[in-house]
């Protein structure tokens, strides 16, 4: 019996897929994005097809789905065999959490976990994949700021918030961030990022060395092992989230460009805190995480001026692409006010206010860097923030937008 011949069982639609709103020939469509890479070709579905696919929630039977399709088609009869064939086609495209998908995913996860090095995922996609071209590309970012002394240059920078949006989109703010630390010489970098695909845990750690066209950066394996043992249940059981995550990869190429490969890194991806947002008032209230934060603090204290913390974070994500019914343009004034409030709380190093503001908005603005930023404020309690730059990018095709900023802590 095929998996979809069982009328009482339909695997649910994969939860790790993105269905991005777009326009095609004047009609609304959704583009499917698969971070696993199982979907070889770009899939584009009309909105009416998405309405059908969204019914596949793991709770409905083939009979339930059949009746729903008959209702959507104004009473036109549809045979259960037709529904089963539809499901089989969706499964062959790796859209469902079926045995077929789970087996392929397990193979991909196991292969990555065994690797000793985290290979560049976005080389040749978001930036050049050869060393000379990448050096020239990154040098072009800084030419506009050549001879310009960063504001607050005389103050010691201990931590930096930089964007993780696409490099070309965030070019100006990347320069605002990284031109400020050009004169530093860190021996170790505590690297915070956003685990966009990290669903069930608060942290993901990896001791893999990171490879880019500019060389290989080693990880501080001893510290990572201590963090993993301390965090226990809040740390993901494997490091697969790091495989395709860009929030750290973009920071590493800038750090390599500025400092070579002489520093080591402690790479940490943060999952979302939004499910527990109303249960706590700051990260140090969260069991186990407070112990991890103590380890981070001791690493910073022991490293002194030889250690730098960098967080690759973006701010608000608004518009239909991110679950809002209204366009980003209609939310723009409200979003800028929210971002200004958050940036002010960061610069005052007020972690409670930073948390409270997001709590009051119910996480409505989808600040994807919230977890990493709030933990950074805990670690550097008492540090003073310095605003460096801000921008917001509008994606016309989806009527959505993403904001991002550069801030230094000293």
pLDDT in the model for residue 403: 98
182-219 per-position pLDDT tens digit? 999 999 999 999 999 898 899 999 999 999 999 999 99
Which one, of 169, 194, 314, lies nearest residue 244 by Cα?
194
Please measure the distance between the N-terminal and C-terminal CA atoms of the chain and give it in whole angstroms: 64
Which of helix, strand or coil describes residue 167?
coil
Domains and CATH numbers, the chain: 3-108 (3.90.930), 117-409 (3.40.830.10)
CA atoms lying within 13 Å on the CB side of residue 210 = 34
Burial class (CB in 10 A: 0-12, 13-18, 19+), 313: buried
pLDDT in the model for residue 199: 83
98-151 per-position pLDDT tens digit? 998 999 999 999 999 999 999 999 999 999 999 999 999 999 999 866 545 554
Rg over alpha carbons for the chain, rounded to the nearest Å, is: 23
Please state, in angstroms and rounded to a whole number, the distance separating the CA atoms of residues 380 and 372: 12
pLDDT in the model for residue 35: 83
In the block, residue with structure tokens 């998996």: 3
Which helix (H) or strand (E) covers residue 387, if one does? strand 385-395
Please state, in angstroms and rounded to a whole number, the distance separating the CA atoms of residues 393 and 395: 7
- Binned at pLDDT 50, 70 and 90, residue 223 comes out as very high
Which helix (H) or strand (E) covers residue 384, if one does? none
Contacts of 245 (CB under 8 A, 6+ apart): 121, 193, 194, 195, 196, 197, 269
3-58 per-position pLDDT tens digit? 555 556 788 999 888 888 777 777 888 888 888 888 877 788 887 778 788 888 88
Burial class (CB in 10 A: 0-12, 13-18, 19+), 346: buried
Answer with the residue of higher pLDDT: 253 or 35: 253
Q: Determine phi and psi for 50, rounding to 5 degrees.
A: -60, -35
269-306 per-position pLDDT tens digit? 999 998 999 999 999 999 999 999 999 999 999 998 89
Q: Cβ distance 52 to 69 under 8 Å?
A: yes
Q: Cβ distance 268 to 203 under 8 Å?
A: yes
pTM of the model: 0.89
322-380 per-position pLDDT tens digit? 989 999 999 999 999 999 999 999 999 999 999 998 999 888 999 999 999 999 999 99
Please state, in angstroms and rounded to a whole number, the distance separating the CA atoms of residues 228 and 242: 15
147-175 per-position pLDDT tens digit? 455 545 545 899 999 999 999 999 999 99
Please state, in angstroms and rounded to a whole number, the distance separating the CA atoms of residues 384 and 347: 6
- The token pair at 217 is 């950066």
Answer with the residue of higher pLDDT: 157 or 66: 157
pLDDT in the model for residue 186: 96
Contacts of 204 (CB under 8 A, 6+ apart): 195, 198, 235, 236, 239, 241, 242, 268, 269, 271
Q: Cβ distance 297 to 309 under 8 Å?
A: no
């Amino acid at each position: 019996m095929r998996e979809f011949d069982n009328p009482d069982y339909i695997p649910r639609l994969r939860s790790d897929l993105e269905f991005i709103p777009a326009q095609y020939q004047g009609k609304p469509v959704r583009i499917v994005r698969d971070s696993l890479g199982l979907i070889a070709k770009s899939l584009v579905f009309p909105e009416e097809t998405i309405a059908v696919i969204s019914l596949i929630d793991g709770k409905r039977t083939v009979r339930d789905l059949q009746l729903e399709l008959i209702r959507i088609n104004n009473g036109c009869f549809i045979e259960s065999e037709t529904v089963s064939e539809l499901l089989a086609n969706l499964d062959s495209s790796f859209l469902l959490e079926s045995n077929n998908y789970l087996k392929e995913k397990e193979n991909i996860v196991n292969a990555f976990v065994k690797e000793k090095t985290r290979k560049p995922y976005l080389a040749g996609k978001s930036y050049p994949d050869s060393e000379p071209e990448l050096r020239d590309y990154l040098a072009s970012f800084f030419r506009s700021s050549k001879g310009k002394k960063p504001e607050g240059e005389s103050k010691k920078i201990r931590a930096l918030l930089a964007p993780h949006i696409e490099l070309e989109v965030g070019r100006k703010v990347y320069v605002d961030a990284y031109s400020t630390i050009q004169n530093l010489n860190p021996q170790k970098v505590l690297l915070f990022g956003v685990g966009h695909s990290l669903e069930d845990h608060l942290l993901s750690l990896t001791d893999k060395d990171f490879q880019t066209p500019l060389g290989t950066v080693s990880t501080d394996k001893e510290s990572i092992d201590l963090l993993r043992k301390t965090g226990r249940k809040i740390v993901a059981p494997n490091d697969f989230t790091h495989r395709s995550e860009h929030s750290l990869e973009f920071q590493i190429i800038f750090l390599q460009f500025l400092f070579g490969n002489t520093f080591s890194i402690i790479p940490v991806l943060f999952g979302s805190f939004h499910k527990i947002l109303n249960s706590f008032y700051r990260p140090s209230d969260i069991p186990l995480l407070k112990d991890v934060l103590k380890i981070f603090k001791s690493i910073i204290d022991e490293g002194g001026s030889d250690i730098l913390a960098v967080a690759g974070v973006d701010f608000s994500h608004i518009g239909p692409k991110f679950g809002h019914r209204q366009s980003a343009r209609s939310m723009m004034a409200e979003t800028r006010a929210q971002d200004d409030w958050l940036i002010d709380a960061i610069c005052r190093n007020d972690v409670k206010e930073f948390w409270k503001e997001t709590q009051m908005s119910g996480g409505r603005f989808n600040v994807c860097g919230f977890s990493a930023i709030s933990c950074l404020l805990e670690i550097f309690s008492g540090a003073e923030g310095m605003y460096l730059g801000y921008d917001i990018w509008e994606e016309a095709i989806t009527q959505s937008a993403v904001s991002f900023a550069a801030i230094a802590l000293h």
